A and B are shown apart, each in its own frame.
Chain A
């Protein structure tokens, strides 16, 4: 194998699994260390800089970081990254004075943002401080988009949402709420220099089976029903409720139903449990509120008497996979009837652009989706950009934030006459953590604690009032212990070939047998011939150039390195060093304007 090029910013970035998996590349270990140090405001700002909504995401994020957490490969469970983020938000001091402000004099350019969800708000947050005049349009009375309308209040208190939305609105954003944009043409005619479309995926899928029309008043589409509850247009539901669907919206619907009058609430899912789209923790929370989840049941018809819903009939199926892994739901012949007063359909959501005229020059492709560039988020009409769920279909908040940052870069480049493809590299920094002969400036000890569960309010209290937040969040002492579970994967093991005397000290001390000194070979055979064969191919091998004494190479399997620093501690020549790697995604306005708040600053 060729020697690893550690100058490529993505090499060490990939070692920080959580940060690499995060669409916004939030520097997770960095803020976890700040939480452990009790520096909650700094931890919050590291987050805010990257993901804009730490308090919201600390409660609602889909957590792409946690399944890939290195801890999950050596221990039973990943670090509770998401809930630690909430700790920073819960315990921070006043931050308003730390946030960027719009300059007193603008740059004279106007940008319209359609939809006031996380993608648009992120664009606003990036562009307003650069002097752009931002006009924000939304048909709801308040900002936040689906974070407000679809995430139930018992998971996300309005104070938290308002606070973080207002940090952005307070940057001098011109707000056009309760304004439904019915024509993109009319917006374009107002002479905006650029338009960003962040309208989400607002249309819930319906279920066209017998009886659907006859009992329309008792059947609701999930996301619309959640919005109606959020804005208090709906305050009650029948005692017996069926929720159809296996995603997170279904979980939010069933739990909301339990709080507004539903006593016998069931979730019915077409497919098997293991294929449910809902996050495992949301399924757990639903189950804890006495909501059974019934899998392998395909809806057949709504049963009614003269338009009064009585229940639903389902076909029971077996899930069969053919040789190519394609799934088929094969009826068993059995049919089941569940009684219900009301049914909520939460089986998916789609994009919908009836308000975009098709003769504006915006190309639409498959599934009537606009053709959007995956890097620049620019549409075929150069002045119009898309982001969030509106760009490529339903994802999640953190993805919308990541889109918003990138779209803001494009808009800034575009309006400065630069090519939108000409994007700056990420900012990186690599700093030795050595403090003395055997001392590191990070806490290198590896805690063996199991993951700490987040305390909840009692079920009785939670179900009595829709507005009671279920999760209580970690208190400071538990947060410290949970933070200590983080392996500090951003503190990299950096190897200097010509300092090595091949004494084997690092090989002998490494708890997880990551380090090898071996004759070089092609990657597949090298992976197999290591002391512990490196069979997790998603994880790179760190390969040195030929060593001075024996011409062998050092090969480190990054997979289960604990970043404990023992290799560097036992290295007599400093060939190994522990160096903190900071990676920050370049934002609109260029890297030179960014601040990176860090442990050592």
Chain B
């Protein structure tokens, strides 16, 4: 088995505005199963960060436990990283973000880590609108423990052994829209043309951005009856193609035709959507919920940018924290002394 990726790259590999090559955004060689969708998502994150000209050391990657949560080892090896306790990545992300608001936070989680053990943490990080990108690598099973059904497995979908799942699934995208998320997208690991612009938009979004990415488990959940297999998702995917146009860049379309809708982000960059049907407004929470539920009833998976709320207040705005990251302040500034404490206490009397 190969443990080290060969050092040579394509001689014409481009550099980005920072003079970096894509290689500068890579990580270690994956030890996930061959063909795992998670590796495609890692590759999409690498492409997105490369194309957004992000300095790797300006990124913090956070994860919980599971196959998905191993993946931060496989991209951005020059970034900060924290592999936390099962389902507790949101708490760590919140703490880190409060201490240093200048970093870009990318959380990687799975359906088990988010929809089962971590559901409570997930709900609260959504409603607090923490400024981060939260990617769920959703394969409908617990791959690390031999493929038991997870909470996102569709009702009636059998596992590899043939046992039918009796419980109803948690749709994380719909849940997030319901409880106040300000950016919700859904995608498929096998469609990088859509996934990469969505990741770029999510990173550029100010506030909490959820990407629920269907990522087939090749070993345990890629059989012909599974609703999370490559073949099924390709057939059921009702893709809403997406382009992401960074600030100050000429708008050139990747897709040829169809009705388009442009959403201007807070920093001036633009998300362009090519909608399949035009009657739904992605800036309206109710409309987004209705559209996703409509497609779900038809056995289809609606992918693309499902909901966005621009100009929301993220956690730092709500708390009124200092613009300067707390970790760059000295003891004197963080702890101004008993005179200030006295005045605070006096204000509470």
Contact = CB atoms under 8 A, between A and B. Distances in A.
Interface stretch (B9-17, B128-136, B175-183): B9-17
Given A503-B230, A513-B13, A562 B6 contact: yes
Q: Which secondary structure dominates chain B's binding surface? A: loop
A438 B189 contact: no
Contacts of B10: 512-514, 532, 560
B92 to A, nearest CB: 27
Nearest to B26: A511
Nearest to A436: B1
Contact residues on B (Cβ < 8 Å of other chain), bracket: 20 to 34
A439 B3 CA distance: 12
B234 interface: yes
25 contacts: A74-B8, A74-B9, A438-B1, A445-B4, A446-B8, A501-B230, A503-B40, A503-B218, A509-B5, A511-B5, A512-B10, A513-B9, A513-B13, A549-B230, A549-B234, A550-B234, A560-B8, A564-B2, A564-B6, A565-B2, A566-B6, A570-B34, A570-B39, A572-B33, A572-B34
Given A446-B6, A569-B2, A570-B39, A505 B11 contact: no
Interface of A: 73-75, 437-439, 444-446, 448, 501-505, 507-509, 511-514, 532-533, 535, 549-550, 560, 562, 564-566, 569-573
Contacts, number: 102
A83 B10 CA distance: 27
A601 to B, nearest CB: 26
Nearest to A75: B8
A532 B12 CA distance: 7
Contact of A74 (B4, B11, B30, B36): B11
Given A564-B6, A572-B34, 14 more contacts: A437-B1, A445-B4, A446-B6, A448-B6, A502-B190, A503-B35, A503-B190, A508-B40, A512-B8, A533-B12, A560-B8, A560-B11, A565-B2, A571-B34
B218 A569 contact: no
B59 interface: no
Contacts of A533: 12
Interface of B: 1-2, 4-13, 29-30, 33-37, 39-40, 42-43, 189-190, 192, 216, 218, 222, 230-231, 234
Contacts of A501: 35, 218, 222, 230-231
A503 B37 contact: yes
Top-10 shortest CB links A-B: A572-B35, A446-B6, A438-B1, A508-B43, A74-B8, A503-B35, A572-B34, A572-B218, A512-B10, A570-B34
A444 B29 CA distance: 15
A438 to B, nearest CB: 4
Given A448-B7, A503-B218, A549-B234, A566 B42 contact: no
A573 B35 contact: yes
Among B5, B6, B33, the most chain A Cβ lie within 10 Å of the Cβ of B6
B42 A508 contact: yes
A562 B12 contact: no
Contact of B36 (A438, A505, A560): A505
B34 A505 contact: yes
A504 B34 CA distance: 10
B190 A504 contact: yes
Contact of A445 (B2, B37, B43): B2
A326 to B, nearest CB: 32
A474 to B, nearest CB: 23
Contact of A512 (B9, B35, B231): B9
Nearest to A550: B234
Contacts of B30: 509, 570
Contacts of B33: 572
A505 B5 contact: no
A503 B217 CA distance: 10
B4 A505 contact: no
Contacts of A502: 190, 230, 234
